[in-house]
Structure 1
Amino acid sequence: MDQLRIYTLADKETAVQYFTVSWAKHRINLPKFGFEVKGVCGHAPGNANQVIPIVSFPDESDPHEMTERYLKSPDFAVDTAGFDLNKIINVETKILRSTI
């Protein structure tokens, strides 16, 4: 099962920082929690203040529980050290299931 995540940040500069620094670390640490990072997009015209990853996880898993476990971990604290999490103004998630 895949999940599209859309992080809307306060401005373009914050999005660039989140994309280049925090997501570089997330890509390393998320697999420890059962996630596979399939890709991360950012800086596109029309959504310059967004970071949009697609992550995958086992079908029988609970993505909310997995996410909460990661958010409460020391790895997440390291990944976001020096980043003001209050500058993430919205997070939208969508489960993607292949029908083919």
Structure 2
Amino acid sequence: MRPPTEDNGATSTVIARVLLEHRRRGLGTRLYERAWEQARALDAQVIETVVPASNPDGLRFAEQHGFGEIERHLLREGDTVHWIDLRLT
């Protein structure tokens, strides 16, 4: 979890990554809930996450937890996989 600051508009970035072989056991939900609670305790006004477009399970997870897409971008010139920024709605 990246904490909110005045410089980032009180936005906290929450990322829950679970290896493929450990998915569908509730681990991602527990990680997300804990990070969300920490972000709120730090007075985050906005909560965001980022998921690579090549991870449809991660996108589905984020959308099921109330996140909506706000932007797609490449990390570096020449990259082929977009990263998707999502914001809790």
TM over 0.5: no
Q: Larger strand proportion, structure 1 or 2?
A: 1
Structure with greater proportional helix content? 1
TM-score, with length taken from structure 1: 0.28
Structure showing greater relative contact order (alpha-carbon pairs closer than 8 Å, 6 or more residues apart)? 1
Q: TM (normalized to structure 2)?
A: 0.30
